[in-house]
Amino acid sequence: MSEQKCQHGETTSGAERPYITSVSVHPFTDENPRAHGWVTYTQTCDDCGAERAVNANQGHAEFSPWGPSTAERRRREREAALTAAEKVRADAVRRGTPMLHQRRVRVEEARDDSARIDADGCFVTVPVSEIARCASAPDGGDGVDVLRRAGVHQPPAGSDRAAFYVAMLDQCRARAGATQ
């Protein structure tokens, strides 16, 4: 069964705003200079939610092509941002996990609020929120280093420190999920 394309028969007009520029997009829609100079508004299809901009001036109209609604564009932008953030996190885990192994640091036990860390035989319980803060510190964790403050460990420096803590946070989440 083929998918039918919406004909945008019933539409709703949004609030008018002052005209700024042409909304036509050649070769999809034609420019109409007579429609320039008065108002622009958004027309929304009542059936599919698609939107287009309309310039109107004394009975003349100029249309942009139909496109996704504002809500759909925002949803796509959020999805793209989440995908990009997940790639950054996965890269940090990839870089940080070997550092955890090299320094013999592992998460023994984790709950939603705290984690018991084994740092080469020295155990310390720290809030997961502190690990998250170290992982997201823009300076790579300098000054907020939870393990160094506890006196049990000297983590890597600079941007490696953030990756180290992102990998530790990943272990905390995995352990907390395994115990639930």
Mean pLDDT over all residues of the chain? Answer: 83
- 46 and 108: one domain? no
- 44 and 100: one domain? no
- 59 and 88: one domain? no
Q: Of 40-44, 105-109, 131-135, which has the strongest mean pLDDT?
A: 40-44
- Give the pLDDT score at 178: 61
Domain count, the chain: 2
The per-residue pLDDT for range 73-106, each reduced to its tens digit, is 899 999 999 999 899 889 888 988 888 888 788 8
Q: How confident is the model at residue 114 (pLDDT cuts 50, 70, 90)?
A: confident
| Domain extent for 95 | 82-178
The per-residue pLDDT for range 115-167, each reduced to its tens digit, is 888 877 778 888 888 888 777 765 554 445 666 666 656 666 666 777 888 88
Residue 72: inside a domain = no
Using the CB atoms, write b or e for 124-150: b if 16+ within 10 Å. Answer: bebebebbbbbbebeebbeebbbbbee
- 89 and 139: one domain? yes
- Is pLDDT above 60 for 179? no
Contacts of 5 (CB under 8 A, 6+ apart): none
